[in-house]
């Protein structure tokens, strides 16, 4: 199979020999920090550097002694799935003083450490940058004191710093997503989903208070993910008179037959005059004005706890490796940088530029420049706020534009978690744009049978958190039924089509595009949203549903590995879904800490299997007790899961025993993850806005007529951008026999998984981040905002 990127630059040129790297976690803890620590340690050791843990953050650096310990490969085993930070974190007043930093410098020089990887928030990273700026002066003082000799000053003349942002609040400018945010959203959504069932039983209103003293990201995104009735955040305080508007909204929702209300309040929520709006104030207001039975739930530190999500493990692992590469490439003149995520790509940004912009947000809020504060938070935050306002607040009928267009929405292919969130978003945005929305049941099979009905705003209430497909979905393709489908489109006067699904949906759009030559009914704007757990649709890096499936795989792998604790050495062979696409096996393997992942895209033979068994045998002779091997269901027709299980069992005799597990359809079920809810919601809203624009552009002489390639598109995530791509132009990128794209970005993550499993391999760094600058207002076409 074609490997991505023909131009390869391998890091064999980047040796860490003779270098010492120290890693510390500072400030508040966040889930995923351990995955970052593990990646830094293993990548550092892999390139030949010495790696040290600094326990208890900056306090450990100041105190020295046993707090600074050399790390080994085995010392980071079994920490990937652990929440918090196992090397400890502490607030340190002493490091803020010059004397404290002098002690810290002495402790580092004694061990030859001149490369620091700091995982923390803006305060921790600012402290690290100050330390770097003072470094040469601190060494000079240490020489004067006789603590170090002059040779040491020459040898350790520069301190290099790379930061990774670990914060559940996602309050750091320059990155779409900080380590820990996705896991915190998982905790919030788990609670909200549980609360909604009890609220419905008693017809209650619930006020939920979530963390975010200065940043409303968690409140805003969880409100978007659960379809909350009202949200209060510090960056955008409500207009004066919000109390009456909120109560009117709650009352209107109940009058439409809804049995519950959810209000989400960030702990730092304020009104326009800077006065705090607490959850108890909101509760008292609802009781007084409406008399609703109202309860308050304050989530507190539960949001910081628990195991990290698949997204956080992958993000932290990618960032940890990127941080080591950045340290290897740094020179004395390179500014301290922070490695972060933009869309789906790693980037490096000057640390102080990010910190300054983060501080500017707070300054704008203090000075009541709220619109500016929202813009400074970044494109993702702005997009979330716009989408929430669009979906949560229904305009009165008199204020809606009258478009006279009918838009049909349907699901095609296998169900994927997040499809319902996408349908809800499409219906509500369509209604807001003045269209009449039609829902088609059971895909194209339902379409040609006439299972089409109008769907209203209230019909999709509560759909966001539902798994599967509430509209119903079938794999039937339209080619054999175009005459009947065209007839149904004529009968219902369908002017545009939104298809949500996987590879079948992509094939369906190609067939409908070809049918335009014989049926004018298909000369309308058509858009497809990728929704499949396999993530095998060309034209997009990510699909709705894949994140939920990854979390199911990772949670199961964690449990399976834990089942072997306290027993003899054991290797687990686990089969994942995905058809011929190895995305779930590869990325699930990276997130679960697998030793190998067998996929169709990377052919393997008996020699590779033997090498893997020998590699595992060597590892098992150390303190490592458990091994994990993932196999994609169609990776090889002869080397089946049973065959691999029997091979490992036979070859591992006397060293380890084996167990196998086929995960099956549990990967397709369950409530959608916060990521899939928001990804589905936002790309669906964007697709409907595109459809509205195309309808206006193609309306001529009293009817819609669209027959160009760019009127039949797939909306996909490509690196940093959400892009509308004509489906016809994606044909050359597609392997139709195996139903996968010819080039797949995630294949670049495979060497990363192998390195972290202690294999010698080449790692392509041509795609690693180059130092960029913080961009205040990115162009609209780069508004991916994919990472929620």
Q: Which residues are catalytic?
A: 169
**CA dist 490 → 223, 296, 411, 482, 494 (Å):** 39, 51, 20, 12, 7
User: How many whole angstroms separate alpha carbon 464 and alpha carbon 417?
Assistant: 10
User: How many whole angstroms separate alpha carbon 21 and alpha carbon 119?
Assistant: 13
Q: Pick from 236, 475, 189, 343: which is nearest to 772 by CA?
A: 343
Q: Report whether 114 contacts 153 (CB < 8 A).
A: no
Q: Report whether 597 contacts 584 (CB < 8 A).
A: no
Alpha-carbon Rg of the chain, whole angstroms? 27
3-state secondary structure (DSSP) of residue 628: strand
The full DSSP string for 56-109 is THHHHHHH-GGGEEE--SGGGTT-TT--S-TT-----SGGGSHHHHHHHHHHHH
User: How many whole angstroms separate alpha carbon 430 and alpha carbon 434?
Assistant: 6
**CA dist 753 → 64, 86, 617, 748, 750 (Å):** 33, 22, 18, 10, 5
Rounded to 5 degrees, what angle do the CA atoms 60, 64, 68 make? 75
**CA dist 339 → 138, 177, 320, 770 (Å):** 27, 11, 9, 10
User: How many whole angstroms separate alpha carbon 458 and alpha carbon 683?
Assistant: 21
The full DSSP string for 445-483 is HHHHTT-EEE--GGGGTT-TT--S-SS-EE---SGGGHH
Q: Pick from 51, 43, 60, 62: which is nearest to 23 by CA?
A: 51
Q: Report whether 505 contacts 474 (CB < 8 A).
A: no
CA 414 from chain centre, in angstroms, equals 22
Q: Report whether 170 contacts 361 (CB < 8 A).
A: no
Half-sphere exposure of 491 (CA within 13 A, CB side): 14
Q: Report whether 526 contacts 704 (CB < 8 A).
A: no
Q: Report whether 199 contacts 205 (CB < 8 A).
A: yes
The residue behind tokens 């049909």 is 408
Half-sphere exposure of 767 (CA within 13 A, CB side): 20
């Amino acid at each position: 199979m074609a490997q991505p990127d023909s131009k390869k630059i391998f890091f064999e040129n980047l040796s860490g020999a003779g270098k010492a790297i120290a890693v510390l976690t500072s400030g508040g803890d966040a889930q995923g920090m351990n995955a970052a620590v593990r990646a830094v340690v293993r990548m550092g050791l892999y390139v030949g550097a010495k790696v040290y843990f600094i326990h208890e953050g900056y306090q450990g650096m100041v105190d020295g002694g046993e707090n600074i310990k050399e790390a080994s490969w085995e010392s980071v085993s079994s920490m990937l799935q652990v929440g918090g930070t196992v090397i400890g974190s502490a607030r340190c007043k002493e490091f803020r003083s010059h004397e404290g930093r002098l002690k810290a410098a002495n402790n580092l020089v004694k061990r030859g450490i001149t490369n620091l990887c700091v995982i923390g928030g803006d305060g921790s990273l600012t402290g690290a940058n100050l330390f770097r700026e003072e470094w040469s002066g601190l060494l000079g003082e240490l020489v004067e004191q006789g603590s170090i000799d002059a040779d040491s000053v020459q040898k350790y003349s520069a301190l290099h710093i790379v930061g990774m942002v670990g914060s559940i609040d996602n309050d750091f400018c320059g990155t779409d997503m900080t380590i820990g945010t996705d896991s915190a959203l998982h905790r919030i959504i788990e609670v909200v989903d549980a609360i909604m069932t009890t609220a419905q039983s008693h017809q209650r209103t619930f006020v939920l208070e979530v963390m975010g003293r200065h940043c409303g990201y968690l409140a805003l995104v969880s409100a978007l993910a659960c379809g909350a009735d009202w949200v209060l955040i510090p960056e955008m305080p409500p207009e004066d008179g919000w109390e009456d508007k909120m109560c009117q909204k709650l009352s209107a929702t109940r009058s439409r037959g809804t049995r519950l209300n959810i209000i989400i309040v960030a702990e730092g929520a304020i009104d326009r005059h800077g006065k705090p709006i607490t959850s108890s104030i909101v509760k008292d207001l609802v009781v007084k004005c409406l008399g609703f039975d109202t309860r308050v739930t304050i989530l507190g530190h539960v949001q910081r706890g628990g195991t990290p999500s698949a997204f956080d493990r992958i993000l932290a692992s990618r960032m940890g490796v990127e941080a080591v590469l950045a340290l290897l490439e740094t020179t004395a003149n390179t500014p301290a940088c922070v490695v972060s995520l933009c869309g789906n790509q790693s980037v490096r940004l000057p640390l102080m530029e990010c910190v300054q912009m983060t501080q500017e947000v707070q300054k704008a809020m203090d000075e009541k420049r709220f619109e500016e504060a929202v813009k400074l938070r970044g494109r993702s935050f702005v997009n979330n706020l716009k989408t929430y306002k669009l979906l949560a607040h229904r305009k009165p009928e008199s204020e809606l534009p009258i478009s006279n267009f009918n838009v049909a929405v349907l699901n095609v292919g296998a169900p994927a978690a997040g499809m319902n969130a996408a349908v809800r978003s499409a219906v509500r945005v369509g209604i807001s744009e003045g269209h009449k929305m039609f829902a088609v049941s059971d895909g194209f099979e339902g379409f040609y049978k006439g299972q089409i009905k109008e769907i209203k705003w209230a019909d999709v209430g509560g759909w966001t958190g539902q798994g599967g497909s509430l509209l119903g979905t079938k794999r039937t393709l339209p080619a054999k039924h175009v005459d009947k489908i065209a007839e149904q489109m004529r009968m219902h006067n369908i002017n545009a089509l939104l298809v949500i699904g996987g590879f079948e949906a992509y094939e369906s759009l190609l067939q409908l595009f070809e049918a335009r030559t014989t049926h004018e009914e298909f000369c309308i704007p058509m858009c497809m949203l990728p929704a499949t757990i396999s993530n095998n649709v060309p034209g997009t890096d990510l699909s709705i549903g894949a994140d939920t499936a990854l979390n199911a795989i990772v949670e199961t792998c964690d449990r399976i590995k834990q089942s072997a604790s306290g027993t003899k050495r054991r290797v687990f062979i686990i089969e994942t879904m995905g058809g011929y696409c190895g995305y779930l096996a590869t990325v699930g393997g990276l997130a679960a800490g697998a030793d190998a992942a067998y996929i169709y895209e990377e052919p393997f033979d008996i020699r590779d299997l033997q090498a893997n068994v020998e590699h595992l045998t060597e590892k098992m002779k150390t303190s490592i007790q458990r091994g994990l091997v993932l196999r994609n269901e169609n990776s090889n027709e002869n080397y089946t899961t049973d065959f691999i299980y029997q091979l490992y069992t036979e070859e591992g005799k006397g060293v380890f025993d084996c167990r196998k597990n086929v995960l099956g359809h549990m990967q397709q079920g369950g409530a959608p993850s916060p990521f899939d809810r928001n990804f589905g919601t936002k790309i669906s809203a964007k697709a409907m806005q595109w459809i509205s624009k195309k309808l206006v552009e193609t309306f001529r002489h009293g009817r819609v007529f669209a027959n160009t390639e760019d009127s039949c598109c797939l909306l996909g995530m490509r690196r940093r951008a959400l892009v509308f791509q004509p489906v016809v132009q994606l044909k050359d990128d597609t392997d139709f026999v195996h139903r996968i794209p010819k080039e797949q970005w995630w294949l670049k993550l495979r060497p990363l998984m192998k390195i972290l499993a202690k294999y010698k391999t080449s790692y392509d760094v041509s795609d690693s981040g180059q130092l960029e600058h913080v961009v205040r207002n990115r162009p609209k076409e780069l508004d991916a905002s994919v990472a929620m």
